[in-house]
Amino acid sequence: MTLAPVSPATAASLATSRLVRLLDHDAVLHEEAQGVVVMTGSVSGTPVVAFATDSSVQGGAMGIDGCRAIAEATDLAVLNGIPIIGIWHSGGARLREGVSALHAVAQVFTAQTRASGRVPQLSVVLGPAAGGAAYGPALTDIVILGPEGRVFVTGPDVVRRVTGEDVDMLRLGGPDPHGRRSGVVHVVSDTDEDALDSARKIAVLLHTQGAVDLDRIPGRPDPSRTLPGDPRRAYDMRPIVTDILDEPGLELQGRWAPNVLTVLGRIGGRTVGVVANNPLRLGGCLDAASGEKAARFVRMCDAFGVPLLFLVDVPGYLPGVGQEWDGVVRRGAKLLHAYAAASVPRVTVVVHKSFGGAYIAMGSKGLGADAVYAWPGAQIDVMGATAAVEVLHRRELAVLEGEARVEAVNRLAAVHAEETGGLQRAVDSGVVDAIIEPADSRAMIAALLAQARPVRGLNANIPL
């Protein structure tokens, strides 16, 4: 039953006050169950359903009634085709309710899975979220962690008793382990207010995506202005991403697998998802973790109809025993599958280089890109010319030393580049549509997006 509008002055609990802070002034109390508050309203004009676990009631533990309310709120969001935002601060299933509480938590998971890929699901963790309250956020599309947010399946006391490891909640499930090591958390916030604001921004980007307005395209800086003069120098791809977008986007999982950037933003007012190599980390190589990170982002964007832009500067896959043992083949295949299966418009811009198997994975024409552009001087090949001649002419080079070897490598590399054709061969064969000036990138991308019909994939957004 829908009740009266709620204001900060009438907020009776921490859960209610958090929801009031999250929502616009039109927040309406939908239900107050045992340990869970559900509201409807909007964020920056975008309609949403929101709920919060009430940590003042048995530590926010999830019982039969509260779980029912969360599951029904999720179904309500799906029925109306609008995002759902959950604020989590819970110790997990209620001990006093026994297996009935576990059954109720499972029903929450089932509702979240039904909603997966149909409406955006966002979780804001502002306190401990343990057991079932850890997997609740993990099943959603976006997890945002506040400064006191802690996510773990088993708490420090249990870990200490079972394994003998002495660990506290911060080290077990705080911003560093989940923002940098595990990839569970997409956004780490310094304050609760920042966490709630991030949820508002992401909900709007995913639901209220807008249309391309070509009049908004001019006026941005040349995105190549931050490229180093020496192509061998590492650089940060973030300024290039910002210059191509209308304004700075919202980066997801920025500290996990930072050799690949995943950013939500807008071009000409239209929401886009950007995947970009970052040469500042690991030289921009793809590895096991970044393949998984990019795959999850691609699937989320496809599920919600967000066009994809790939900005490419990749020398290949990171080699090494550690990578093979970490599953670079299995986890890298996730990106290949996600991109090839996507239905949304897909545009690729090769900024500097794109070599080998990583060329295929980073939005190649053969994998389904609608358009592939390259900046002047970009290199596309099985591998770099220098590396290629080291393999092809290893016997000839083995007898040379010092300057003679360097000169021979440079000479052979120049011949190899001319013979294999490089960028021009890519254009002639149709795997690159055009060589474009960096300053024209926004206009070219926007023109394609403006002509593309709105489409979204049919996939759920499984937590890869």
Indicate whether 279 and 302 sit together in one domain.
Answer: yes
> Of the listed 132, 136, 254, 291, which one is catalytic?
132
Looking at 154, 182, 205, the residue that finishes a domain is 205
pLDDT at 3: 43
Indicate whether 201 and 229 sit together in one domain.
Answer: no
The tokens 């090769």 sit on which residue?
A: 350
Query: How would you class 339 by CB atoms within 10 Å of its CB: exposed for 0-12, middle for 13-18, buried for 19 or more?
Result: buried
The tokens 């070897």 sit on which residue?
A: 405
Indicate whether 147 and 226 sit together in one domain.
Answer: no
Rounded to 5°, angle at Cα 400 from 394 and 403? 120
Indicate whether 166 and 56 sit together in one domain.
Answer: yes
For residue 44, give both structure tokens: 């920056």
Q: What are phi and psi of 328, to 5 degrees?
A: -60, -30
Q: Does residue 40 fall inside a structural domain? A: yes
For residue 165, give both structure tokens: 């490891």
Give every CB contact of residue 463 below 8 A, 6+ residues apart in sequence. Answer: 138, 139, 296
pLDDT at 421: 61
Q: Does residue 326 fall inside a structural domain? A: yes
The tokens 């955006």 sit on which residue?
A: 120
Q: Does residue 227 fall inside a structural domain? A: yes
For residue 440, give both structure tokens: 């024209």
pLDDT at 381: 85
Indicate whether 200 and 218 sit together in one domain.
Answer: no
Indicate whether 138 and 238 sit together in one domain.
Answer: no
pLDDT at 205: 98
Indicate whether 87 and 114 sit together in one domain.
Answer: yes
The span from the CA of 248 to the CA of 242, in Å, is 5
Indicate whether 161 and 261 sit together in one domain.
Answer: no
CA dihedral defined by 415, 416, 417, 423, rounded to 10 degrees? 140
Indicate whether 192 and 228 sit together in one domain.
Answer: no
The span from the CA of 258 to the CA of 286, in Å, is 10
Q: Does residue 284 fall inside a structural domain? A: yes
pLDDT at 431: 95
pLDDT at 11: 45
Q: Does residue 351 fall inside a structural domain? A: yes
For residue 377, give both structure tokens: 């001087």
CA dihedral defined by 316, 463, 174, 325, rounded to 10 degrees? -40
CATH number at residue 163: 3.90.226.10
Q: Are 47 and 38 in contact (CB under 8 A)?
A: no
Catalytic status, residue 132 = yes
Q: Does residue 124 fall inside a structural domain? A: yes
pLDDT at 418: 67
Outline where DSSP puts E strands in 194-289: 250-252, 260-267, 270-277
Give every CB contact of residue 161 below 8 A, 6+ residues apart in sequence. Answer: none
Q: What are phi and psi of 300, to 5 degrees?
A: -65, -50
pLDDT at 409: 78
Indicate whether 195 and 312 sit together in one domain.
Answer: no
Indicate whether 30 and 120 sit together in one domain.
Answer: yes
pLDDT at 10: 47
Structural domain including 160 reads: 8-205
Rounded to two decimals, the pTM is 0.93
Handedness of CA 266, 268, 272, 275 (dihedral sign): negative
Q: Are 309 and 347 in contact (CB under 8 A)?
A: yes
Q: Which of 4, 128, 144 is nearest to 20 (CA)?
A: 4
Q: Does residue 182 fall inside a structural domain? A: yes
> Of the listed 358, 387, 388, 417, which one is catalytic?
358
Looking at 188, 205, 222, the residue that finishes a domain is 205
Q: Which of 220, 252, 290, 273 is nearest to 441 (CA)?
A: 220
Indicate whether 279 and 320 sit together in one domain.
Answer: yes
> Of the listed 63, 131, 155, 254, which one is catalytic?
131
> Of the listed 357, 377, 421, 422, which one is catalytic?
357
Written as tens digits, the pLDDT of the chain (464 aa) is 334 455 554 445 899 999 999 999 999 999 999 999 999 999 999 999 999 999 999 999 999 999 999 999 999 999 999 999 999 999 999 999 999 999 999 999 999 999 999 999 999 999 999 999 999 999 999 999 999 999 999 999 999 999 999 999 999 999 999 999 999 999 999 999 999 999 999 999 999 999 999 999 999 999 999 999 888 899 999 999 999 999 999 999 999 999 999 999 999 999 999 999 999 999 999 999 999 999 999 999 999 999 999 999 999 999 999 999 999 999 999 999 999 999 999 999 999 999 999 999 999 999 999 999 999 989 898 767 777 777 788 888 787 788 888 888 788 877 777 667 678 888 999 999 999 999 999 999 999 999 999 999 999 999 99
Outline where DSSP puts E strands in 54-193: 84-90, 121-130, 142-145, 150-152, 187-188
Q: Are 98 and 120 in contact (CB under 8 A)?
A: no
> In 319-452, which ranges are continuous DSSP H helix?
321-325, 328-341, 356-361, 385-392, 394-398, 402-420, 422-429, 441-451
CA distances to 65, 149, 201, 300, 339 from 294, in Å: 37, 25, 21, 10, 9
Looking at 170, 205, 240, the residue that finishes a domain is 205
Domain count, the chain: 2
Rounded to 5°, angle at Cα 129 from 123 and 130? 135
Would you say how long the chain is, in residues?
Answer: 464
Q: Does residue 414 fall inside a structural domain? A: no
